[in-house]
Chains A and B, each alone.
Chain A
Amino acid sequence: MGYYFKTKQMSVGYQGKPLIRDIEIELDKGEILTLIGPNGAGKSTILKTIAKQLKLIGGVVYLDKNEMAQMSGKELSRKMAVVFTEKLKAEMMTCQDVAATGRYPYTGRFGLLSKEDAAVVREAMELVHVTDIRDRDFNKISDGQRQRVMLARAICQEPEIIILDEPTSFLDVKYKLEFLSVLQELRMKKGLTVIMSIHELELAERVSDKILCVNGKYVERLGRPEEIFRRGYMKSLFGIETGSFDEESSSMELQAAAGKPKVFVIAGGGTGRTIYRRLQRQGISFAAGILFENDQDYPAARALAADVIKAESFEPITDALIKKAKEKIDCCESVISSKSSFGTFEKANEELLRYAAETGKKVEILS
């Protein structure tokens, strides 16, 4: 049974009181595990327990087949690096100084850096693209830069496994992607195993080999992204009450406008989302149709429209459906269409547009 990292009935918590029990994690070398769950659900508690910052309340944790409780601090420091949310205090230190502190487990009695150490530091800083700020004061750089320097520091430790608590939270989109790319690169090149908590669900879905869902009491699910990102699951995990999250497209929508639909929106192929969202911002309830279930606009329509007239994917639109859509238009005050000309398989929508004009509805055609 060759899992690189494994927990058996691990219980975590504070002051001997278990917060989450019976956590079972199994990771191969080079796998990326992310923890997701609402604020305060215990993600940090789990990470801190794994990193031995908190006392293990129950169970056993194995790293490379060794029981972690038996490993000395020194031994562990050469295998595991951490990047936590606690700010690293760095008085009068440049970014390079901070990165170099990662060499601690390898330096001698007085912590002096050898030529080899210096080379490792240089390489690590290049890998996360902070070489140009190496002489800047660590306290006077941006959050994004700081996070990357922290990663460089962790890389200097030459770890086999890295524990990160919300590493991407303060990064802009460019650096979020870059940060995760570096982790992937390290996994490819050095077989680095990664355990991290992350708030950006869309990133969690993309980067993770496995995802652990924590809800504050127990581990709800552990599995591959496609097993976790099932319709409606995030709503229940996070207890989403206003707005919605669509697991298939990893996108979220704000709370839909209440009330009976006043506008009927004809769109498709990705042209509708902007209209739906504009109406949501204006607080106008609307109906959307006719949309194929596999249309790009469909997830947003489902989240935002009071009613969606949907057609089965890859099937012709039936007359019954057209009739239903027309009835819906009758109830609306106006119709908005994202297009004036329609393709062969959406002639039904052309018919709807004509119908709206004939019945004297206010028709707005965009584009």
Chain B
Amino acid sequence: MEKSRTYRYIAAFVFLGVGVVLFLALNIGIGSVRITIPDVLRIITGRKTDETAAKILWDIRLPRTAAGMILGGALALSGYLLQTFFHNPIAGPFVLGISSGAKMVVALVMVFLMGRSARVTSMDMILAAFVGAMMSMGFVLLLSYRVQGMSMLVVSGVMIGYICSAVTELVVTFADDADIVNLHNWSLGSFSGMTWDNVKVMAVVVAVTFAAVFMMSKPLGAYQQGEVYAQNMGVNIRLLRIGLVILSSVLSACIVAFAGPISFVGIATPHLVKKLLGTAKPLLMIPACFLGGSVFCLFCDLLARTILAPTELSISTVTAIFGAPVVLWVMAKHKKEKAA
């Protein structure tokens, strides 16, 4: 039993690892200009080749792909943390309105700063998004004490999301024309226009957060079994809950700041990964979720860029198509288990 399980874990991680590498390669290679793998290697290693290809690769595709990988992982991880926190299988940063809250504050800050023609740094954006995420999270937490049941919690989150989106639309509508295009794309969710500066900042933030989450995997495992039993194991529940709220908000904020709100990756990925691993152990789920989220996002971004090229779809359009059915499946499964 133990042995066959270990093999399964190894196989799952190999599968996810191969998936990440494969989609990294595809994302870098495929586009309006096709760049072959040997060319990519040649450009990266600095041997001289085609100037335009090198420019496309360095300035557009590589940062975008890197961002897709990092943010995709972050999304899945924040979804996993929220699901664990609320003991609710359909929680995620998008459905709980956390992404929308972050989006709203980012939009407000951007319009305000751009109006004064001040420069908006990556860190500013993350901070603004974090404030917004915490605001929504605060509301959801307040409501979660009053409403019982997983569907009510999600309905509350969706409502908060609508309110925040409405405010964002309002702000965008009144913003200067030049900004609107930019803001509008971003407010729908997109990996386009990523710079290396962006990537550096998000890599640091996500790496630190990931490490913190990973170090919490033992108490998280106890927390999954219910507060009563976690408490008896000596877990400091209050501290753990605060940690979960902050870390999941940081992750959500980072995503929104750079790519806007992206739906369904956060909810769907943990379930797919759990199915793949055959366990819900945080020690394995945390890294596996990250990889799974990367694969999922890279795959969706590839489709978003290529299906109707040269027109680009918003990333959420694609993630919804693949993510929503997963959520429906989870809900149906959950109902069935409850009935049994």
Contacts and interface: CB of A to CB of B under 8 A. Distances in A.
A101 B228 contact: no
Nearest to A76: B234
A315 interface: no
A345 interface: no
A91 B232 contact: no
Contact of B224 (A76, A80, A91, A135): A91
Interface in B259-297: 274, 278-280, 283
A94 B280 CA distance: 11
B337 interface: yes
Contact of B232 (A77, A93, A139): A77
A107 B235 CA distance: 13
25 contacts: A51-B232, A53-B231, A73-B234, A74-B234, A77-B234, A80-B232, A82-B229, A84-B229, A86-B226, A86-B229, A88-B225, A89-B225, A89-B226, A90-B225, A91-B274, A92-B274, A92-B278, A96-B1, A101-B222, A101-B229, A105-B234, A110-B283, A111-B218, A111-B221, A112-B283
A88 B231 contact: no
A91 B280 contact: yes
Interface string B208-235: 0000000101100110111011011111
Given A82-B228, A111-B283, 14 more contacts: A51-B232, A73-B233, A73-B236, A74-B234, A76-B234, A86-B226, A87-B226, A88-B225, A92-B280, A104-B233, A109-B218, A110-B218, A111-B221, A112-B283
A101 B221 contact: yes
A88 B280 contact: no
B233 A105 contact: yes
Nearest to B337: A139
B108 to A, nearest CB: 39
Nearest to B89: A91
Interface string A105-137: 101011110000000000000000000000100
Nearest to B237: A73
A51 B229 CA distance: 11
Interface of A: 51-53, 72-77, 80-82, 84, 86-94, 96, 101, 104-105, 107, 109-112, 135, 139
A72 B224 CA distance: 21
B87 interface: yes
A94 B279 CA distance: 10
B231 A73 contact: yes
A127 B244 CA distance: 37
Contacts of A110: 217-218, 283
A80 B228 CA distance: 13
Nearest to A77: B234
B224 A89 contact: yes
A14 to B, nearest CB: 15
B202 to A, nearest CB: 26
B292 to A, nearest CB: 16
Contacts of A53: 228, 231-232
Give 4 closest A-B pairs by Cβ, nearest first: A73-B234, A77-B234, A111-B218, A74-B234
Contacts of B218: 104, 107, 109-111
B337 A104 contact: no
Contacts of B236: 73
Contacts of A72: 234
Given A76-B234, A105-B233, A110-B218, A93 B228 contact: no
Nearest to A103: B233
B84 to A, nearest CB: 10
Contacts of B274: 91-92
Contacts of A84: 228-229
Contact of A88 (B229, B234, B278): B229
A213 to B, nearest CB: 25
Specify which of B233, B235, B280, B283 lies most central, judged by the most chain A CB atoms within 10 Å of its CB: B233
Interface string B1-28: 1000000000000000000000000000
Contacts of B278: 92
Contacts of A107: 218
A151 to B, nearest CB: 13
A81 B1 contact: no
Contacts of B231: 52-53, 73
Given A110-B217, A111-B221, A111-B283, A77 B233 contact: yes
B225 A101 contact: yes
Nearest to B215: A109
A84 B225 CA distance: 12
Given A91-B224, A92-B279, A101-B225, A135 B232 contact: no
Interface in B156-191: none
A74 B236 CA distance: 9
Nearest to A85: B228
A101 B217 CA distance: 13
Contacts of A135: 1
A125 to B, nearest CB: 13
A104 B218 CA distance: 8
A91 B88 CA distance: 12
A340 to B, nearest CB: 56
Nearest to B283: A110
A23 to B, nearest CB: 21
A135 B228 CA distance: 25
A93 B226 CA distance: 14
Contacts of B87: 89
Contacts of A139: 337
Contacts of B225: 88-90, 101
Contacts of B279: 92-93
A82 B228 CA distance: 9
Contacts of A112: 283
Contacts of B228: 53, 82, 84, 86
A139 to B, nearest CB: 7
Contacts of B226: 86-89
Contacts of A89: 87, 224-226
B224 to A, nearest CB: 6
Contacts of A104: 218, 222, 233-234
